[in-house]
Amino acid sequence: MKRVCAASLFVLITICTTTAWAGFGTHYTNGVEGIRAASLPPPGVYLRLYTVFYGADELKDRNGDGFGNFDLDVFAVVPRFIWVTNYKLLGADYFVDVVVPLVSTDISLGMGNMTLFSDDQFGLGDIAVEPFGLSWHGERYDAALAFGAYLPVGEYDETEPASPGLNYWTGMVTAGATYYLDQAKTWSASILARYEFHGENDDTEMTNGDDFHFEWGIGKKLAQFWEIGAAGYCQWQVTDDSGRGATDSRDQVYAAGPEVNYYIAPLKTNATFRYVMEFDAEDRSEGEVASLTLTYRF
């Protein structure tokens, strides 16, 4: 029994010290895109403000079984600045964007009557930049391709699991498409995929494995300003972690839920609310994501 408890405790501590809570090894947080996820707006300058809540009270092992006494709440306000230029390349609009996350995390973990840790932090997370992006618009489709990176500028301390920064670089390739099922573009189906590859965390001497994930959405316009549908995401770790304390466990998770969009014409602002619940998680938390996104054109 002591050996079993010691092994379980080691697994818990390993996960705690090598994992990014919001994405569990990934920088990008799923659940913030859905209906028409791969559709960029026309040329112009935009502010897209994501307000995101992630809550979880289950931590899953590599077999998808829950263990430990776990509680996690993450709240983030994330402005994204997008410039879609008038410059054309390969028939597409060239765009750039920058994402600046402000993150509040409250996390606790224990086993039985033992509390391993409890921590809460607020601060600047790692900034994302996409210096190269292309956006196509066809008669019945939209498509996008982008290359970007996450810069490890966020606050980080190896002894503070709720740190908003992750202390490593991440490269990311994004590609996706939206297809309109009717000529009037009232029905749409979209998928936006991302591949992440990570640098080493110098403090933990750990490198997280690569991740592949995609967000999807199916939508229907009901009137001039309303759109409803379903959205979700799938995420898989596709290569093993490496470095100190690395194991061959690979995390995965799926999620689905409803989405509602409304265009506020007087404010030139599109508002999107989305709520998704995760399922079939392995080697990570399993919870729910609620997000409100406001997109304003200057």
Cα–Cα dist 234/144, whole Å:
19
DSSP conformational letter for 203: T
Closest of 209, 176, 213 to residue 195, by C-alpha = 213
pLDDT (0 to 100) of residue 25: 64
User: Looking at 57-61, 92-96, 112-116, 194-198, which range is the least confident one?
Assistant: 112-116
Average pLDDT (28-45) is 95
Residue corresponding to tokens 């898989």: 236
Spatial distance between the Cα atoms of 191 and 158, rounded to a whole number of angstroms? 35
Q: CA-to-CA distance for 296 and 139, rounded, in angstroms?
A: 25
Whether 163 has a pLDDT exceeding 60, the answer reads yes
Domains identified in the chain, total number: 1
CB 37 within 8 A of CB 177: no
Structural domain of residue 64, as residue ranges?
Answer: 2-297
pLDDT at 20 over 80: no
Higher confidence at residue 1 or residue 252?
252
Least reliable range by pLDDT among 7-16, 87-96, 191-200, 284-293: 7-16
pLDDT for residue 14: 45
Nearest to 54 by CA among 27, 34, 20, 29: 29
Q: Are 56 and 24 in contact (CB under 8 A)?
A: no
- CA angle at 98 for the pair 25 and 291, rounded to the nearest 5°: 60
> In 3D, which of 168, 54, 181 has the Cα closest to residue 106?
54
| Alpha-carbon span 280 to 269, nearest angstrom | 35
Give the C-alpha separation, 55 to 211, whole Å.
21
Is the pLDDT at 252 greater than 70? The verdict is: yes
> 54 is written with which tokens?
């992630």
DSSP label at residue 66: B
Cα 14 to Cα 25: distance, rounded to the nearest angstrom: 13
Question: Is the per-residue pLDDT at 3 higher than 90?
Answer: no
What is the reported pTM?
Answer: 0.89
DSSP SS3 for 14: helix
Tell me the two tokens of residue 163.
């740190």
Residues in contact with 65: Cβ distance below 8 Å, sequence separation at least 6, in sequence order:
none
Neighbour count for residue 86 (Cβ, 10 Å):
9
Cα 74 to Cα 76: distance, rounded to the nearest angstrom: 7
Residue 67: the pLDDT is 81
Mean pLDDT of 102-120: 90
- Residue 161's contacts (CB-CB under 8 Å, 6 or more residues apart) are 16, 17, 21, 107, 109, 117, 119
pLDDT higher than 60, residue 18: no
Model pLDDT, residue 7: 36
CA distances from 158 to 71, 163, 201, 233 (A): 19, 8, 10, 29
- Which CATH number goes with the domain that contains 16? 2.40.160.40
Do residues 258 and 224 lie in contact, with contact meaning Cβ atoms separated by under 8 Å? no
